[in-house]
Amino acid sequence: GQSLEQPSEVTAVEGAIVQINCTYQTSGFYGLSWYQQHDGGAPTFLSYNALDGLEETGRFSSFLSRSDSYGYLLLQELQMKDSASYFCAVRDNTGGFKTIFGAGTRLFVKA
Amino acid sequence: DVKVTQSSRYLVKRTGEKVFLECVQDMDHENMFWYRQDPGLGLRLIYFSYDVKMKEKGDIPEGYSVSREKKERFSLILESASTNQTSMYLCASTSDSLYEQYFGPGTRLTVT
């Protein structure tokens, strides 16, 4: 079957660095995405990795290892506004642009 | 800015009713998706469409159908609503050349 595993909850303090891991098992793989969702809001796109390595976008970075079926989202200089849910998602290449989402990681940033 | 709109933010329906959820995007995207989101389960794909009049089942299509008569509009239909379909429904769109999906604000459906 297809599945993505990520921790359900992470807590960190303001200014710290936090890493949210994602392992996946899918029938096809085209790329790994990360989305952020604040309470009551819609998911918004953060990053995408199609190839191995690190992609950096400001305070956020995302890493992919295709051989390990593993990726992570790294959030630096945490701010209170980063408190949200973070979803990893795999774009499947076996059926158009079908995307499978993980269950999400709830990040709590404390002062 | 890409805009994805959904017909209602909140909807309350009775068991057995036929329910229509509408989604419209304004960026000429080829691909549109319907997800439901439940606590602890993330986003689960119900149906998606990669072209007008084309549709593909996602992971949980049972009890749902879809319609895409125009490129900008993708409708989700609950033929006979049941209480286990109480959920947040999210519509999304993307183009063939994009990685990211753009989501609508969601419709919180309650079936009583």
A18-25 and A3-5: which strand pairing? antiparallel
Chain B hits for A89, CB-CB cut-off 8 Å, are 43
Report the C-alpha gap between A2 and A15 in whole angstroms: 35
Three-state SS at A80: helix
CA distance A97 to chain B (A): 7
pLDDT single digits (tens) A3-16: 899 999 999 999 99
Per-residue pLDDT tens for B37-67?
A: 998 889 999 999 999 989 999 989 999 999 9
Whole-angstrom distance, CA of residue B55 vs CA of residue B73 = 13
Token pair of A63, please?
């890493």
User: How is residue B84 annotated by DSSP?
Assistant: G
The verdict on a CB contact (< 8 Å) between B103 and A42 is yes
pLDDT at residue A95, rounded to an integer: 59
Interface A-B, measured as beta-carbon pairs within 8 A, has a size of 56
Interface probe with A: pick from B99, B102, B107, most Cβ of A within 10 Å:
B99
The pLDDT, as a whole number, for residue A96 is 61
The chain B residues in contact with chain A (CB within 8 A) are: 31, 33, 35, 40-45, 48, 50, 56, 58-59, 90, 94, 96, 99-106
Point out which residues pair with A89 in neighbouring strands: A33, A101
Compute the average pLDDT of residues A65-81. 97
CA A101 to chain centre: 10
* Integer-rounded Cα radius of gyration of chain B: 13
> Residue type at A86?
Y
Chain A residues touching residue B98 (CB < 8 angstroms): none
What are φ and ψ of residue B3, in 5° steps?
-130, 125
